[in-house]
Amino acid sequence: MKTHVKALVVGGGAVGTGIAYHLAKAGWDTLLLERDELTSGSTWHAAGLLPLFNMGYATTHIHKYSVDFYKGLEADTGLNPGFYVVGNLRMAHRQERMDEYMLYSSVAETANVHHEFLTPNQIKDRWPLVRTDDLLGALYHPQDGYINPADVTQAMAKGARQLGCTIERKVQVNGYKWTGSEWVVSCERMVEQGGRLVPSGDVFTITAEHVVTATGNHAQRTARLLGIKIPAIPVEHQYIVTEPDPMLVEWRKSNPQHPVLRDADAKWYVREERGGWILGPYERGAPARFLYDVPETFRADLFPLNLERIEAEYLSMIHRIPSSETVGLKDDFNGPICYTPDGNPLVGPVPGLRNMWIAEGFSFGITAAGGTGHYMAQMMTEGEAEIDMASLDPRRYGDWITTEYSARKNEECYEHVFVLHHPDEEREACRPLRTSPVYDRQAALGAQFGQVNGWERPNYFATLGFNDHDSRSFRRGGWWKYAVEEAKAIRETAGLIDATAFTKHLCAGRGQRRFWTGSPPTSCRRLAVST
């Protein structure tokens, strides 16, 4: 086994193997460690959906890269990743949802993601089992679909090995120490004992110039070992598998698979599975799990199903696909899926720790694995990615986050997967968390607050009693007239801006006055100076 490498990847799920593949492809001597078996975290029970749809610039590019990359894996590795290019249909009941899809369309165009809009009649003509009389339309991606999570992970692992990467299973990392030039990583081999995975006492160290963690559900343990905070905490996600649907079986005799169906207003996705259906809801009330650590007894395990929690979504599926009403339930899954407070993963360098990188908090890890590996490898080997990765930067969460905050916000994020995501969206959980000394005075004057770095900061001031939530829109929100008034006031007279939420840098020492009064470096020229 290697004891010194250029890059050490910790975690053998889809994301970890994707990173290892691309680092090895870039020519770096790479070692991947997995404490159990590959895919034994959240990867094995994932539904394997590959949606190109995403409202963010970076994540759209990541998903696009993954979908294209997976299509070529079999040619590169000889292993079929189980990719079914069936397409993806996002249905809309109301105009606001269509507005959201139109906004997304402008993001998709920047990444050359092909998509089209369909009318209810076009949907019915193509897929007659889908009820469309109450739909306004849909957004259709013909080039994505779903994939077998275990197969794609093993294909990337094989590709990584072919490129020179070494993969070691049943090795747990117990500590990280920076020497000033490299990381010394303390490891221990794990062994099976009565169905549990326990330490063997066989300890050793590995030195690495760079370390990447992709530890999934174990992110809180990783955070403790590194002495940092990582707001990645899993939330329960359940889905059910039905018995074969006779009408679907008959229809499939002369037709291809349905696309992955998404009824965002009903909060679920559905896809075909061996003549039946898989229903995956994003219901209210799903709890966060493993707030501090994953129990030693929890391996490739699941939680008990809670059918009452998803009853409304189940009935909604029957409404949308009437033929599913008479089929029974064949299987169920309720497992941990990692989330972050804003739903975006944490991808990039760890602030304050040289050559330490994290890829944590993936709620759509299968979709993101290939693209994350590609862009993470660019950041590590070339100094930066070819796209703007700022929205995924781990620095967006600082020491102000707490375990309770992360857990409650992640639960909120889970149930918000299918809500309308307005450009001026502000979520309410765990607020107010940090307030300035003038918070109460601002509120009394009609401040409509947003949250920045945990701080409550006025987005604008409105008349007392104004409802910011109800004013949101994909067109021109109710805040517009108030923003116009504020802009005119500052432009024509004067205004006072609360800068509490802004990052502050203290510059001290010899030469600091010359630094600020002279010509600061290019990277500092947007800083405001206060004395």
pLDDT at 517: 72
Q: What's the CA gap between 530 and 256, in Å, rounded?
A: 65
Q: With bands split at pLDDT 50, 70 and 90, how would you rate the model's confidence at 527?
A: low
By C-alpha distance, which of 17, 261, 25 is closest to 153? Answer: 17
**Torsions phi, psi of 480, nearest 5?**
-55, -50
Pairwise pLDDT comparison (424 vs 144), residue with the higher score: 144
* Average pLDDT, integer, range 152-161: 98
Q: What's the CA gap between 474 and 487, in Å, rounded?
A: 21
Q: Is the pLDDT reported for residue 523 higher than 60?
A: no
Which residue reads 């990444």 in tokens?
Answer: 111
Q: Is the pLDDT reported for residue 208 higher than 80?
A: yes
pLDDT at 415: 96
Q: 353: which DSSP letter? A: S
Tokens found for residue 363:
């709620």
By C-alpha distance, which of 124, 364, 58 is closest to 258? Answer: 124
Per-residue pLDDT tens for 239-266? 999 999 999 999 999 999 999 999 999 9
**Torsions phi, psi of 6, nearest 5?**
-70, -45
Using DSSP, state whether 269 is helix, strand or coil: strand
**Torsions phi, psi of 74, nearest 5?**
-65, -40
Q: Is the pLDDT reported for residue 206 higher than 60?
A: yes
Residues 424, 469 contacting (CB under 8 angstroms): no
Q: Is the pLDDT reported for residue 50 higher than 70?
A: yes
When mean pLDDT is compared across 50-64, 86-100, 147-161, 501-515, the lowest value belongs to 501-515
Torsion of CA 18, 20, 21, 24, to 10 degrees: 160
Which residue reads 């070691």 in tokens?
Answer: 168
- Length, in residues, of the chain: 531
Per-residue pLDDT tens for 366-405? 999 999 999 999 999 999 999 999 999 999 999 999 999 9
Per-residue pLDDT tens for 409-419? 999 999 999 99
Q: Is the pLDDT reported for residue 524 higher than 80?
A: no
pLDDT at 509: 86
pLDDT at 300: 87
Q: Verify cis geometry, omega within 30 degrees of 0, for the bond prior to 432.
A: yes
Ramachandran category for residue 147: left, alpha or beta (phi over 0 → left; psi -120 to 50 → alpha): beta
Pairwise pLDDT comparison (525 vs 90), residue with the higher score: 90
* Average pLDDT, integer, range 433-450: 96
Q: What's the CA gap between 217 and 288, in Å, rounded?
A: 11
pLDDT at 399: 92
Q: What's the CA gap between 145 and 53, in Å, rounded?
A: 11
Q: Is the pLDDT reported for residue 522 higher than 80?
A: no
- Looking at the DSSP bridge assignments, the partners of residue 337 are 235
Q: With bands split at pLDDT 50, 70 and 90, how would you rate the model's confidence at 53?
A: confident
By C-alpha distance, which of 140, 153, 180, 160 is closest to 43? Answer: 153
Residues 341, 409 contacting (CB under 8 angstroms): yes
* Average pLDDT, integer, range 114-121: 97
Q: Is the pLDDT reported for residue 531 higher than 60?
A: no
Residues 54, 144 contacting (CB under 8 angstroms): no
Tokens found for residue 242:
């039905």
Cα→Cα distances 303→195, 235, 246, 333, 335, Å: 17, 11, 30, 8, 6
pLDDT at 247: 98
Q: With bands split at pLDDT 50, 70 and 90, how would you rate the model's confidence at 508?
A: confident
Q: Is the pLDDT reported for residue 526 higher than 90?
A: no
Average model confidence (pLDDT) across the chain: 94
pLDDT at 55: 83
Q: What's the CA gap between 144 and 152, in Å, rounded?
A: 15
Tokens found for residue 342:
């804003």
pTM above 0.85? yes
- Looking at the DSSP bridge assignments, the partners of residue 269 are 262, 280
Q: With bands split at pLDDT 50, 70 and 90, how would you rate the model's confidence at 529?
A: low
* Average pLDDT, integer, range 68-89: 97
pLDDT at 395: 95
Q: With bands split at pLDDT 50, 70 and 90, how would you rate the model's confidence at 124?
A: very high
Q: What's the CA gap between 234 and 445, in Å, rounded?
A: 39
Cα→Cα distances 340→291, 375, 425, 432, Å: 12, 20, 17, 18
- Looking at the DSSP bridge assignments, the partners of residue 29 are none
Cα→Cα distances 218→42, 211, 390, 431, Å: 11, 16, 24, 27
